Structure 1
């Protein structure tokens, strides 16, 4: 029998630092939608660590969905839901969530995906909802490290629509949907976490 579980070295390195920030941002009971869940390792790690979080993984790709399902079946956590097939540029769930989490999505997708992410998240977040974005970003038009500059060049060679996004442009797009940048958290390996909160009425 083939094991469908994918393993990401990056996920193994960054899952605990990401979890620590999420613990600061989210209450002990929360409904979380993770978009572009990939292998499913972040979903598994966070759901196992925080039993009060109802974690909904999602991804548009069949291989990722199979991996998330395989990890879920291997561990069987009551608060880890079956994955949804979700493309951020398509139809989003009607359910309300307390948080939308996207890990390493913005730089390996077209800018239209970033636009769709903000619109979709704003549509499914509750009144106190937050968006948590993890990955490399540019600040004032410049990469945060030389290694990020090389990474950006490699991404653009692979696909001209990819590339490390400028934090100010992401913030501006979020504001269009009432999502305000509340906090920027430096992370290992020259990455950042952006915390976007729904603007109060």
Structure 2
């Protein structure tokens, strides 16, 4: 989570950071996850879930609370967010200690040697990170997901070379004015990147505020 893009508040007494955007969208995203993960927990427990770019920790604690039979591994590039993630994680038993992951690095450099996951989840990273992080995310997800596992990505996207609505066009221009590496990625380009590492786009869920949740399956 880029704090300059997504504002946050801090509870000094508990070390918890609160991003209003994460608070607003966590339930809508959970409702998408509920269409997939309970089917997995019905046959396996725990279902191992990796969150890349955990940010404040608001999403992971919400999902962990409402998805019994899952075990969550938060990961974040900005280690300044670790105290907040740990503070949220202390509320539940099924969240592990956060780990540092730079999504631009090859999967072998992620601190997950010997581990596998059923789910990888990443929200609001692709459009506000260096371009190398996008293929890096897909490569890492493919490397650590079991066959049939799912990568969920959430955020605003272009599709077929078009960005809609106008508010997303303005957002894209604003991002690029801050950093030439940032900007909304096109779903068609993501499909090619994913296909190179054995992931296929299974579903697109339209979300509030002109966002989408993309569901990628490892084949």
Separation (CA, whole Å) in 2 of partners of 1:117 and 1:72: 23
Separation (CA, whole Å) in 2 of partners of 1:41 and 1:61: 15
What is the CA-CA distance between 1:89 and the residue it aligns to? Answer: 2.1
TM-score by length of 1: 0.94
Q: Are 1:58 and 2:75 matched, yes or no?
A: yes
Q: Are 1:184 and 2:184 matched, yes or no?
A: no
What is the alpha-carbon root mean square deviation over aligned residues?
1.2
Q: Are 1:84 and 2:95 matched, yes or no?
A: no
Aligned equivalent of 1:10: 21
Separation (CA, whole Å) in 1 of partners of 2:14 and 2:176: 33
Instruction: Please give the per-residue CA displacement for 1:116-169, whole angstroms capped at 9, x wherever unaligned.
Output: 111111100001111100000001111121110011011001111000000100
Q: 1:166-181 maps to which residues of 2 (within 5 A)?
A: 166-181=186-201
Counterpart secondary structure, 2:18: coil
What is the CA-CA distance between 1:51 and the residue it aligns to? Answer: 2.1
Q: Are 1:20 and 2:31 matched, yes or no?
A: yes
Separation (CA, whole Å) in 1 of partners of 2:196 and 2:116: 20
Q: Are 1:34 and 2:51 matched, yes or no?
A: yes
Aligned equivalent of 1:165: 185
Counterpart secondary structure, 2:132: helix
Native 8 Å contact 1:65 1:85 kept in 2:
no
What is the CA-CA distance between 1:2 and the residue it aligns to? Answer: 4.9
Counterpart secondary structure, 1:131: strand
Separation (CA, whole Å) in 2 of partners of 1:160 and 1:141: 18
**Residue segments in structure 1 that go unaligned for 5+ positions in a row:** none
Aligned equivalent of 2:60: 43
